[in-house]
Structure 1
Amino acid sequence: MPGIVPVLRHTSSKPTTSDYEESELDEMKGVQTYSAAMMPSPVFLFRFKVVLFILWFICCLKISWGSVMRMNTDLQDLFLYETFLYYNPLLLVTLMVWLWGINLWVFSQSSVSYARVFDLDHTHLTHHEIWKCATWMTIVVPTSMTAYLYLYSHGEVALAASQPVMLYIVVLTLLIFPFDIFYLSSRYFLLRTIWRICLPLQAITFADFFLADIMTSMSKVFSDLERSTCRMLNKQVATIAWFEADAICGSHSVAIPLVLVFPYLCRFFQCLRQYKDTKEKTCLFNALKYTTAIPVIFLSALKYHVIPDSWTNFYRPLWLISSVINSLYSFYWDITRDWDLSILSRIFKFKNPTFWSDALHGKVWVYYWVIFSNLILRCTWTYKLSAHLRHNYLTVFTITALEIVRRFQWIFFRVENEWNKMNNKQWVELSTNTPKTEEEDTLLGSTGHEV
């Protein structure tokens, strides 16, 4: 029938099609355009999320402040100390995840291929995915903390005690969940690396000792995690009896210095394993650096187990000497070995230069700032291990956060230095394997000269 048979058009370069098919395509395009117009813009969604986040933060702050004010004045300090004990480890881990996302974002914008440095496959997490994890952690941890404060201050002690317990169970479950959700390959890569750090029986990779170095900066986090877990297992959550020094989970516990020193021991055995594999003496000097932290930790813990006069006259001077040695040795190693700033190598370039990248790239003030701040924060981190600061939870929290920031800036130069080593090694291998021409062989092989 003439009304149904399509009219064909002939063109030289395009495929033949019917007017009826073209009308269908136009309708489909119109529907897609209409749907796209109905969707809110990404900028609007981002601003909407920011507004919700600010409102949520204000609500949590208001509820938490009101809950603390309901407490007896004499118990407020103990109440906040206990609350910080449960939640400051996860808050500090959240800070570390946010900063790690910034590290990855900078690397993705620069000439440094962090995927090659850490030997990651194509499924590794990008900075966007790291920030998603950090966002959820930022929401969940303070929400649980607010619920704990509110329930405890309103007399619901049993419900309050369940808040940190449920939070820790959820975090542990998500970390070891065996199903292919929530970044399974990345979670198991992290768990495998931690296992290799605890038992350095295989050859040490860059990711192994890189994560082990980060763990040394978070030793206080692990110490608080141990005390929190101890309280949960002994059913002491939402009580103040544990504050007694000689309690099972009290400040005199021998487990505290053992947990603090564990990351340093792991790094020490890694260095010994590296020396066994490479026979490089620098590995032994690096191992010596980590042993200097052991006297600092155990001498500080002796304050709770010796008489005050012995601590003041004998052990405290030893602690000060060991602290100075550890801080200066670690600072020297950061500058000369981990970063190789002895030649002030230029900081990596950005693929898309901006004002900030131009202000940082190759500027000498960047290195002066990094060197000076690293020295100050190294000394501050050692001072944090002092026994008399154990109950000053706000001071310790601030110092630990600053140590995480120090490690954050350390990562930039450490990864860049490793990237430069990889490129130099690859260049040497290429130059060594390149076959010489006949003329080069003649010039290099001629040793006798007639005069």
Structure 2
Amino acid sequence: MSGIADPPSAPVSVMLSTPVFFRAPGVMILFLFLWGINLSVFKALRINYHGALNMVPEDLLEPRQIFQAVGVLGSLLAVCITGYLWSGADAVFIPEAYPVIFYAAALLILLSPFDRFFHRQRMAAWGILRRVFAARVPIAFTEVLVADGLTSLAKAFGDMEVTICIISTVVAVAWSGGDPDHVHTHNLEEDAYNALPGCIHSFFIPIIISVPFVVRLRQCLAARQHYLSIGASSSSTSAASAGYSNPGVVAGTPLVQGHDPATPLSASAFVSVSPLASLTAAPSGPAAAAASHRIAFDAIPLFGPWLNSLPHDAAVQTLNATKYLSALPVIWLSAMKRNYPGSEWLPFYRMLWLLAVSINSLYGFVWDIRMDWGLLQSSAANGPLLRPHTLYPAGAYYAALALNLALRVTWSLKLSSHLHLTGEWYIFMFEMLEVFRRFIWIFFRVEWECVRRGDGIATVRKPSLKADLDDAQK
């Protein structure tokens, strides 16, 4: 949308408002689909994602089941979009009824108490969400992964608020005449367009977008307080690590898929971690990996001595909390634009906003590759910028580094509500790119968690498929 001064023709308005109504569910369905691909790859490579997530297989949807759910929700969304676009004066429902139909049907499916549509897995997912918002220690890796995923959907949650705002405004205006026939004779497209500027400038949008970051920030602060209270160090094996020290193994969860947890694992048990790789024994174990992942706080200006005075894991969680805190200025400086004409916002607030975007993007990128993926380790022998223990080919890590850097910038930009004014399809593209970035991020985040847990840390993956095949022939 290039401007907001003059209403466009009805067909153009329908095309422009369609992403506003259906963008959030579309992005969420895409997220679910890509998560299914994540699990498919983990399963194909025999990476023990169940162990990393501390979940029994029965509580987690299999890739096939995820794709079935995507098919059901995607078909429902396609039907509602078609009904929205083709509805007219003689239609059974007004156009704005179709987003309501989709959300109502989706909630009915997801909240149904009946033993249908993967009831056990849905209940397990709701339980994880409750723990995510409670932020009670020990914080499991699964709760960290889900909370990080919610930050990637933050803008979609803001879109849902815009949808509710527009639809409620349209319905109120359409029924204002007191005659039900007035609904079908009113220019609903123009009403939706007129409601759009006020709705995208709603004060609730930055609040809603901020919620996932505040939730993740709260997790970090809870973990930090936990480490301060117990005087934990990076060598701790507590599951309260929130993903940044060796969390140990939850009782009853096998390190290798198909292994009986009552039977001790030998080094040979790790040989089949990946069917693509020929694996050889390495001289180091989880303790060495944790030690190599310690942060040298002396390199941090101003705050290095203070961080060194804290337990290592508490200092790490302090830095992690700062990362999520850095997203809030991006959100709120952008939201301030609605209170200022462009000429007043540009000189000062735009400069602050660009500074906030730069800090958040760079901070997030460095944290992703160093802490979330465990890369940039000087002892890496299988490639510069990598780490000693990897489960993927070296080229995959370098490609992910480049993609993450580029997509981190779009991630920070998309948090800005004032960019709605540049075009709804433009924002839709930003949101899809962020979901794709998170899709790539999950591959390496879960892999690094498996390595630190010991799921394959006794082995080193050879870097080429050719070497794997040669060894297999021998």
Same-fold call, TM > 0.5? yes
Cα deviation code 1:274-320 (max 9, x no counterpart): 11223321001000000100000000011111243331111000001
Report the equivalent of 1:6: none
TM-score of the aligned structures, taking structure 2 as reference length: 0.68
2:454 aligned residue (419, 423, 437): 423
Q: Residues 426 and 376 of structure 1: is their aligned pair in 2 closer, same or farther, counting only changes over 3 Å?
A: closer
Answer yes or no: is the 8 Å Cα contact 1:101–1:127 preserved in 2.
yes
1:262 maps to which of 194, 203, 211 = 211
Identify which range, 280-289 or 184-193, moves more after superposition. 184-193
Write out aligned runs for 1:408-447 (5 A): 408-423=439-454
Matching of residue 285 in structure 1 with residue 299 in structure 2: no
Residues 347 and 165 of structure 1, relative CA distance in 2, 3 Å threshold: farther
- Say how many residue pairs are matched: 342
Segment drifting more, 408-417 vs 123-132: 123-132
| Structure 1 residues 163-197: Cα deviation after superposition (integer angstroms, max 9, x where no partner) | 22111111011111112111112111221222222
The yes-or-no answer on 1:131 pairing with 2:53 is no
Give the alignment partner of residue 390 of structure 1, picking from 420, 424, 443. 420
Match status 1:273 vs 2:222: yes
What code does the residue aligned with 1:241 have? D
Structure 1 stretches of 4+ moved >4 Å: 236-239, 346-349, 424-427
> Of 326, 336, 339, which residue of structure 2 is paired with 1:302?
336
Q: 1:405: which partner in 2?
A: 436
Structure 1 or 2: larger helix share?
Answer: 1
Which residue of 376, 387, 405 corresponds with 2:406?
A: 376
> What one-letter code is carried by the residue in structure 1 that aligns with 2:134?
L
Select 1:221's aligned residue among 137, 146, 156. Answer: 156
Secondary structure in structure 2 of the residue aligned to 1:204: coil
Matched residue SS, 1:340: coil
Unaligned runs of 5+ in 2: 1-6, 175-187, 229-312, 378-385, 459-474
Separation in structure 2 between the aligned mates of residue 312 and residue 108 of structure 1, nearest angstrom = 50
1:146 aligned to 75, 82, 102, which one? 82
Q: Distance in 2 between matches of 1:398 and 1:313?
A: 28
Q: 1:106 and 1:426 mapped to 2: Cα distance?
A: 19
**CA distance 1:111–1:424, shift in 2 (3 Å):** closer
Match of 1:335 among 355, 359, 369: 369
SS of 2:200 mapped into structure 1: coil
Deviations 1:364-404 (A, max 9, x none): x3222111110111011212234442041111111110110
Kept after mapping to 2: 8 A contact 1:125/1:186: yes
Residues in 1 aligned to 2:345 and 2:327: alpha-carbon distance in whole angstroms:
19
Q: Distance in 1 between matches of 2:206 and 2:90?
A: 35
- Which among 368, 375, 396 is matched to residue 366 of structure 1? 396
SS of structure 2 residue aligned to 1:120: coil
Q: What letter matches 1:337 in structure 2?
A: M
The CA distance in 2 between the partners of 1:184 and 1:300, in whole Å, is 40
Matched residue type, 1:305: N
**How many percent of aligned residue pairs carry the same amino acid?**
32
| 2:149 counterpart letter in structure 1 | I
**Could you say which residue in structure 2 is the equivalent of 1:4?**
none
Matched letter for residue 370 of structure 1: A
Whether the aligned pair in 2 keeps the contact of 1:301 and 1:387 (CA below 8 Å) is yes
Is 1:313 aligned to residue 263 of structure 2? no
- How does 1:5-404 map onto structure 2 within 5 Å? 74-123=9-58, 124-152=60-88, 155-156=90-91, 158-234=93-169, 235=171, 238-244=188-194, 250-279=199-228, 280=313, 281-343=315-377, 344-345=386-387, 361-363=392-394, 365-391=395-421, 392-404=423-435
After TM superposition, the structure 1 stretch with the greater mean CA deviation from structure 2, 169-178 or 381-390, is: 381-390
**Relative contact order, CA 8 A, sep 6+: which one is greater?**
2
Unaligned runs of 5+ in 1: 1-71, 350-360, 428-451
Name the SS of the counterpart of 2:121 in structure 1: helix
SS of aligned partner of 2:321 = helix
Pair 397,347 (structure 1): closer, same or farther in 2 beyond 3 Å: farther
**1:104 deviation in Å?**
0.5
Amino acid across the alignment from 1:393: E
Measure how far apart 1:340 and its partner are: 0.7
Distance (Å, rounded) in 2 between the aligned partners of 1:159 and 1:83: 14
Q: Write out per-residue CA displacement over residues 313-369 of structure 1, whole angstroms, 9 at most, x where no aligned residue.
A: 1100000101100000000000100001113147865xxxxxxxxxxx423x32221
Corresponding letter in the other structure for 2:217: F
